[in-house]
Chains A and B, each alone.
Chain A
Amino acid sequence: MYNSPDAVTRSLCVLFLAAALSACGQARDEKAEVATVTPPVASPWQSNYLDIGRTASPAEIAAWDIDVRPDFVGLPPGSGNAVQGEEIWLARCAACHGDFGDSNQFFSPLVLGNVTAGDIESGHVAALKDPTRVRTTLMKVATVSTLWDYINRAMPWNDPKSLSTDEVYSLVAYLLSLGYIVDGDFELSNENIADVQARMPNRNGMTQEHGLWKVDDVPDVHNTACMTNCEASVEVASSIPAFARNAHGNLRDQMRIFGPFPGEDTGIERGAETAIVSVAEEPLEPEAGLASSAPMELLAANSCLGCHQIDSKLVGPAFTAVAEKYAGQDDAVVYLSRKIRLGGSGVWGGFMPPMAQLSEDKAEEIARWLAQ
């Protein structure tokens, strides 16, 4: 939503190609330069295109112009209570964000208790200096208008723009109450939202002094184009650890199959001689429990371990419980690999998101391990 200043001239500049830009410029600013569009001399084969496009109606603008600025221009009047907000939250938001906005299952947590009364006082969230703390939305966001606009335009995740204005106010109030920025029964409205802004814990936490806004800004990091004897010593500080070599899948299959630089076969151990044969001929080890044979890299790389543990329930069921449930079922591998890739709900209570990033082979590998 734009700030409608009185100064704006509402009359349409009558623009003909030759005079178009300068005419408009004169109305505003004699010195204004037009960077890209240089009006060509009027010619019969380049006629006036200013009849193209039409005026937007007020109703059309109202339908689409939904943005809310930090100074609350564009914020529709309305109100909502944090108590109502909690009800709407549980129905529309909690499945992804958790009852208290703390879930890490689908998105980074919104709230984790890392915002303090001191932060609300200072306007700087102190925990942002601590690399061990998880960064949440309430720690980062400086402007309450952003929360309102975000929820209003893009939430819920799978049903955006379905909330009423008052529902958005209620949800913002509930979210703020989770961070103790407002009380648990706070009524947020267009009248008092500016007071809430004054309590935003990271309201002073943003800087625009960084040299990366404009093309001609001065950069903040400098190197020189040294050509000879530039480094006294060259030391490798980090590389991909051996256990993670195959974490992105076999790199051999991600490179062109011919040419000067074929892909490294990361499905085998580094330095293994005649490796493909020896791996294939390796006798199968006797079964020694689910944990010892777990495809840990695969599980770790695909966030499986965020919700599942080997032998205890976390968010989802323990892997041992899954294995037990489907033991002896003929189509267990097919069933489980399908479940892994497509997600599911109702079997264990709650639901599992689809793991579509897994190839069928990888999903099958996990399923085979579970069904073994």
Chain B
Amino acid sequence: MSEKSGREIVPQAYAPSPTVTERPGSFGQLRKAPESFLDKSTIAAVSKSGIDETRRQLLRTSFTTALAGMLGAGLSARALASQGDPDILTLPPWSKSLGNAVATNPYGQPSKYEANIVRRQSPGLTQTDQASVSFSPLQGMFGMITASGLHFERHHQGWVDIDPRRHRLMINGLVSKPMVFTMEELMRLPSVSRIHFIECGANTGMEWGNAAVPTVQYTHGMLSCSEFTGVPLSLLLEHAGYDKATAKYVLAEGADGSSMTRTIDIERALDDVIVAYGMNGEMLRPENGYPLRLVVPGVQGVSSVKWLRRLEVGDMPYATKDEAIHYVDLMPDGQHRQYTSIQEAKSVITSPSGGQRLLTKGYYNVSGLAWSGRGTVERVDVSFDGGRNWYTAKLEGPVLPKALTRFNIGWNWDGKPAILQSRVVDSTGYVQPLKRQLKEVRGSRSVYHNNAIQSWQVTESGEVENVQLT
């Protein structure tokens, strides 16, 4: 991503196609949209006092200047402005040249103009880069599916790229036949494909005390949703002959250095858990557990153990490192909640959201995501006045259990300050809580499971900021 000043986008992640000769500074450059020719003080003045003759003149001058800046040599600004949009009147190079060959990029890449929409770390959040997090850029995403390259990362001891030919899955413990499977064998078994969200239990964890991070990428970006393909865990447990009388829990263990282990209760394990190898039509990405991971729908992401090597059926919880030292939620009375698992219903407006700007008054499509670890999204309400009044948004289908659901609602911004919020109601009737309601019960030091209603403040100048309300 470009961190340089000025409006130049310098794509670094994606090399420009070698077959197209570009003029430097021409179409790698972002020009201000025609709406943004105004400086902030003019916007503020117009918003406050309306347009009088002085300002009208100022607007005219600014627009002409802006246009002049956009034009190449040859035509005068005034001449073109009277005829129309220079991007229409002057044919762009891509309309007058031969395009690239097929398979120029054997594995397709996003447009170089999308180089800003990438996973990012939150500076200072962790002291090492191996036990760390990269956040999904929710502010730039659409629909319910997360592009695989944008799926958030959470590793405990770095990620590995496992040779699938040497990977094995073992099932042992309270089973009549402890078993070993190769990838080939697992992929011969009956499979299911289902769409589920994965959310880290610590998502929004930086926001318990106060507004701490600027954009939805950092407030809510430990969240992704994919179509996973694999063998139902219930089938494998049956296959190994799990002991129905004594089996109460399943321990899942990773093959990486950290060998992450998590306890899953047997009801969950037999319900909708998938031993997955596929993700969005291809194999899992290494960062997401290639070649095999568990997907425990609705439960915090740490239980969806990546690089899965072993499943053990047992009769008591295991109090593993990520159940007894990490991933425990501190309550005000000094007790820690252990085995907090379910990701309760939560929603967030992704556009507009913190760090973005509204350029003009008028109509906008306000869009966001809602989800529940206990079932489906029943309804999403949106407020534009900090929670005084609410309006029901439109849900985009399909609305699936334990999957992200996209919602949209139209909004006419009148140029006045506003506070945008969304609130989900799930299929159990549970209503997403206010931050103060969460804090009353759980205090502000629990780190995990913050599913409070998010507030985005829109200022008169159109700036959108992360705020928390009393």
Contact = CB atoms under 8 A, between A and B. Distances in A.
Interface of A: 1-3, 5, 7-13, 15, 20-21, 24-25, 28-29, 32, 34-37, 49-50, 52-56, 60-61, 64-67, 69-71, 104-107, 124-126, 128-129, 131, 135, 137, 140-143, 145-146, 149-150, 153-154, 157, 160-161, 202, 205-208, 210, 212-217, 219-231, 233-240, 245, 247-251, 253-258, 260-264, 266-267, 270-274, 276, 279-280, 300-303, 306, 353-354, 356-359, 361-362
A261 B325 contact: no
Given A36-B270, A251-B215, A261 B351 contact: yes
Contacts of B298: 215
B335 A207 contact: yes
A264 B232 contact: no
A321 to B, nearest CB: 23
A222 B140 contact: no
Contacts of B147: none
A222 B36 CA distance: 43
Given A206-B338, A213-B341, A254 B1 contact: yes
Give the 10 A-B residue pairs with the shortest CB-CB distance, closest first.
A234-B386, A2-B173, A251-B355, A28-B244, A238-B210, A261-B356, A128-B334, A150-B321, A129-B334, A301-B123
Given A28-B245, A128-B330, A257-B9, A20 B211 contact: no
Give the one of B36, B238, B333 with max A CB within 10 A. Answer: B238
14 contacts: A5-B246, A7-B243, A9-B243, A28-B244, A28-B245, A105-B127, A146-B319, A206-B337, A210-B329, A225-B390, A228-B389, A237-B469, A239-B468, A261-B352
Contacts of B121: 357
Contacts of B438: 221
Interface stretch (B14-22, B81-89, B286-294, B307-315): B307-315
A149 B320 contact: yes
Contacts of A354: 129
Nearest to B232: A36
Nearest to B438: A221
Interface in B419-470: 419, 423, 425, 430-434, 437-438, 440-442, 445, 449, 457, 461, 463-470
B268 interface: yes
B40 A273 contact: yes
B135 to A, nearest CB: 10
A65 B130 CA distance: 25
Give the one of B137, B210, B320, B341 with max A CB within 10 A. Answer: B320
Given A220-B441, A237-B470, A357-B121, A140 B325 contact: yes
B60 to A, nearest CB: 18
A53 B129 contact: no
A313 to B, nearest CB: 20
A212 B116 contact: no
A257 B113 contact: yes
Given A50-B239, A213-B341, A248-B218, A160 B157 contact: yes
Contacts of B325: 137, 140-141, 146, 150
A251 B181 CA distance: 47
A155 B117 CA distance: 35
A65 B310 contact: yes
Contact of B129 (A67, A213, A260, A356): A356
A146 B321 contact: yes
Contacts of A240: 211-214, 354, 465-466
B244 A67 contact: no
